[in-house]
Structure formats: C-alpha cells, structure tokens
Structure 1
Amino acid sequence: MAPFTLYGRTGWGSALVEAQLTRLGLDYDFRPVGDVFKDEAARVALAAVNPLAQVPTLVLPDGAIMTESAAITLHLADLTGRDDLVPGPAAPERAAFLRWLVFLVANIYPTFTYGDEPERFVALEAARRPFREAADAYAERLYRVVEGAAGAPFFLGERFSALDIYVGVMTRWRPKRPWFARNAPRLHAIATRVDAMPDLAGVWARNWPDG
C-alpha cells in the first residue's frame, strides 16, 4: 500500500492525525506546511490540496483527499478494520465516543479557529482582544463540561481511544496544562498518561520539542 501523505504543521491540529497514524502503524509521509495565517505562499500551496488551506489534510493511498480530523479518525478505523482507537458499532462505549469526539471538534476546536487570529473575523482592532478573551473563556467553560464526562484512567474508562489522543494534544493549547491541572484534573491525568506512551513519544517530541 502506498503511504498516506499528511500535510501538517508542528504543534497544530495535524498532531491529532499524526498520532493516530503512528499508533495504527500506518506508513505516511509528513509534508510540513508553513504558517498559513501569515505566509501567503504557504496558504496558496495548501489550498491547491485543501481549498480551506487547513491542517490536517490527509491524502489517502488512492489519492483521495480527506480533511476534518473527526472524519479522518473514523475513516482510519474503518480502513484498518481495527477498534483500538474507535469503539466498534456494538461496543458499549460507542455512543459516548461519538458524542465527545464531535463535541471536541464542533465546540472546542472552533474557539482556536476564531481566537488564534481574531483579525480574520473582527474588523475593528479595538474589539479583537475582547473577542479572543471571550472565545478563551467559552473554551474553559466547555472544558469543564468535558471534565465532568471524563473517566479514568482514560476518557472512556479502562479503554484507550482516540479521545485520549485529542485530550493529550488539545490540552497543550490554550488554556494549557497548568490550567487543566488546577481546573480539570481528570483531563490533565489523561493527558499526562498519553504523554508517557512510548509509541507516541516521537510524535510528541517532533511537535513539542521543548516539552
């Protein structure tokens, strides 16, 4: 099988897919992407593959393009026929997995889309900082909801899943790990457990070389 090609950027959302490809033992080429918010050439180059110029963008072995990390998560499980990252249809954890996977990508992930570069959405310069602060405060509120649903030692309890990869990656972003240690200890414990997984150590070191 020809390798997958993953377009990504260090420390960005492509780490979600990179970790899953690694965990599943799938062969892939990582194609580094420039800062698409600040580099017009990088944005144009990625737009040739993904019109929204977003990462992750995954090229499948047959040349088809996939975007949206949740869709990629489900497709990789279907493609490999494995249920170690995505509970199968008959698994008792399936409904919870789908609920919280979509919750993370539909509710929390957009707070970074809007908050990272508020000037893309807010024309009035004086309003940009309050806009970002509001987005960050909303993200914290949402994370408290997720905290209330999280199990131990992993999100679904004893069963490891892609949700734990999402927690491990997203807790590295705002409001960052110290906030989670104080306000969302279950999510923080999951994240630190995922940090320590030997098969993912290379992914974390490449995306967050400073720890």
Structure 2
Amino acid sequence: MYLLYARPGWGSALAEVQLDWYGLPYRIETVGDLFEDSAARERLTLVNPLAQIPTLVLPDGTVMTESAAITLHFADVTKTDSLVPAPGDPLRPGFLRWLVFLVANLYPTFTYADDPARFVAHEAARAGFRDAVDAYAQRLWRVVEQTAGTPYFLGDRLSALDIYLAIMTHWRPRRAWFAEHCPKLAAIAAQTDSNPRLASVWQRNFAAADEA
C-alpha cells in the first residue's frame, strides 16, 4: 500500500488523483499547514528533508518526492498509457516538455510567493516580491495557453497534464483569471473537472474552495 502525505487542496492532490485513477491502494497521512505549523514541518522533514508535499512512500518503503517523478512512476508501475503517452507515441515529447515546464517553471512560483518570508528578509519588501512573482507566473501561464490544445492539452486525449491544469488553476490567480486571460486552459480545467473518475478527489480537495 502507498502512503501519501497530503493536505486538501495542496500539491498532494496531484498524486492523490492519480492513485485514485489507477486504482492503486493507498492511505493518506494528513499534514498540518506547513507554512503555519512548525510541528507539522518537523514531522514531515523526517520523511522529506524539504518538508514539501506530495511526499509518497511506496509499498516497499521507498520515499518519492517531486510530482513529475511520481507521475512517471505510476505510469511505469501500472504499465498503462492512460495518463502518460507511451514511449514511441508522437504525443510523448510534447507531454514530457510541458510536464517539466509546469513543475520546473510554474510550480516554483507558488513555492516562492505563498510564503515570501522564507526568501525575503525585510518585511517591507515581501509584498513587492510576491507581486513580482505572481506577475511572472501569469506571464508563464500565457505561454502555456499558446500551446494548449482542445478539448484537452494534447488534443483529443486526456493526460496527466490536464490533471495538473485542473488542480493548479484552483490556485493563484484562480479560475476567474484563467477564464478571462487563458480561456483554453480554463476550458481544459472545466472539461477535466467533469470526468466522473475524478469526482471523489475533487470533492475531498476542492469542495470548500468551490463553495467559497
């Protein structure tokens, strides 16, 4: 059985939804707010020195971090291409490019801007830092928008990229901004939301946000 360290609505949802999708057995260890709860950070550090989620413990006890690595691992373990185009598939190079783009370029903007105090010593400079990082993230989202297909990012087929987009568009600058400035990404997120196989994960992770 897999063990996923998770917090509803956070990046752990990227792994949780795939565990559900593939029907892999798992249990969740809920963690506290890693920005506000020092005890939660200390406990998670024992498993992942960066105290970040997703943190996944494999059935053999191996610890995996980094959502892209976890995504590719699940495809290998299940021997299916339902979320990751297989080697030799002409869609695979684009999939790999944009998977890494999302995790290497966009995901860090949340890391930096969610808690600027970790990176900016002077309190007076933190608001400006966050604004600059958020503006950079919006610029990156517009780059992704230019390449996105329809109805899914790769065109006719659902992939893990669509799961990433459906989850990450819940975060800043949030769905209303995407609807106005990146309509293709907003449409992909809505299309992915409607997949009944994902309903239980969306409910666990985003019901409160959607009702707010």
TM-score normalized by the length of structure 2: 0.97
Q: 1:61 aligns with which of 53, 59, 63?
A: 59
Q: 1:48 aligns with which of 29, 46, 49?
A: 46
> Aligned letter for 1:145?
V
Q: Name the count of aligned residue pairs.
A: 209
Q: Which runs of 5+ in 2 are unaligned?
A: none
How far the C-alpha of 1:36 sits from its partner, in A, is 1.3
Q: 2:150 aligns with which of 146, 149, 152?
A: 152
- Quote the residue 1:139 is aligned against: 137
- Quote the residue 1:91 is aligned against: 89
- Quote the residue 2:188 is aligned against: 190
**For residues 84-133 of structure 1, what are the alpha-carbon distances to aligned partners after superposition, in whole Å with 9 as ceiling and x for unaligned?**
11101110100000000000000000000000000010001110000000
> Aligned letter for 1:170?
M
1:6 alignment partner, SS class: strand
Overall identity of the aligned pairs, in %: 64
How far the C-alpha of 1:196 sits from its partner, in A, is 1.1
Q: Which runs of 5+ in 1 are unaligned?
A: none
Q: Residue 19 in 1 paired to residue 27 in 2?
A: no
Task: Give distance in 1, aligned partners of 2:132 and 2:70.
Answer: 30
- Quote the residue 2:124 is aligned against: 126
> Aligned letter for 2:108?
P
- Quote the residue 1:205 is aligned against: 203
- Quote the residue 1:103 is aligned against: 101
Q: Residue 169 in 1 paired to residue 131 in 2?
A: no
Q: 2:176 aligns with which of 178, 182, 195?
A: 178
Q: 2:76 aligns with which of 75, 78, 92?
A: 78
> Aligned letter for 1:11?
G
Structure 1 stretches of at least 4 aligned residues deviating more than 3 Å after TM superposition: none
RMSD of aligned Cα (Å): 0.6
